[in-house]
Amino acid sequence: MTPDTPANSSVAPHTAAAAVPAIVPVPVLETEHLTQRYEGREVLQDINLRLQPGESLGIIGESGAGKSTLARLVMALERPAAGVVRWSGEDIHRLPEHQRRARRSRVQMVFQDPYSSLDPRWRVGRSIAEPLQRLPMTAAEREQRLAEVLDAVQLDPDAARRFPHQFSGGQRQRLAIARALATRPSLIVADEPLSALDVSVQAQILALLRDLQRREAISLVLISHDLPAVEVLCDHALVLRHGQVVEHGATADVLGEPRHPYTRSLLSALA
């Protein structure tokens, strides 16, 4: 203690570091008590999920479990009967329509059928670049981004001048992925992106999605009944049955040590 220090004072040591509060990232996607009804019948009930930047979630279940309904709600393609969908902290359904449209570049979808996102009358370059028309970009910048995403999905730049019917099913799915990537989204929702493809092509698209998700640090929601694909691509897994979550956790736990009988039955069907 120095002469200038009062006897009853307390001086913090110079080596003590000030406590820095942990910064918790805003979830890319969050739902709370999400519920949907069609004609009075409840098809989704009380779905709560949270996806952080760069994370991936697999949503598993048989046909009729509510997977595609959940995808449409997450994409704000329809309004829920109850509950909330947030993109990067914003309640997307509380925004005016023009603001919601402006934010759609953050969240993109890859459909089961790539024809759903590729107009057969347009050259594929036009289809891929179409979402960029709503962004503040010059024509040259759009052309550059088109070349970048074609390269990202391992297609030649000349592909932009061709029509969808001139490609194989696997190539069309690559083009659909390129279109989803074009706006540099923070989240991609892929609804059964492998099921319309041959087994050998499925493996190629699966490897492509895995590489892109890691390299681009994009959050991914994979809607699938393909458990091996979920195991390869997803950090977390959520199991739906009759519109309700029966199991949710790390993919290694859900698929490696399932607790719910329904999850065990899905796994046993693959054995």
Q: Which two tokens stand for residue 160?
A: 């932009």
* Mean predicted confidence (pLDDT) in 121-133: 93
> CB of 266 within 8 A of CB of 254?
no
- Specify the pLDDT at position 14: 47
Query: What average pLDDT does the segment 139-147 reach?
Result: 94
Q: Where are the beta strands (DSSP E) in the chain?
A: 29-38, 41-51, 56-60, 82-87, 90-91, 107-110, 187-191, 219-224, 236-241, 244-250
Q: What is the residue extent of each domain of the chain?
A: 29-112+186-270
In percent, how much of the chain has pLDDT > 90?
66
Q: What percentage of the chain has pLDDT greater than the value 70?
A: 92
The pLDDT of residue 9: 39
| CATH class of segment(s) 29-112+186-270 | alpha beta
The pTM (predicted TM-score) of the whole model is: 0.86
Q: Quick: pLDDT tens for 196-247.
A: 788 888 889 999 999 988 888 899 999 998 898 999 999 999 999 999 999 9
Q: What is the pLDDT of residues 169-188, one digit of tens each?
A: 899 999 999 999 999 999 99
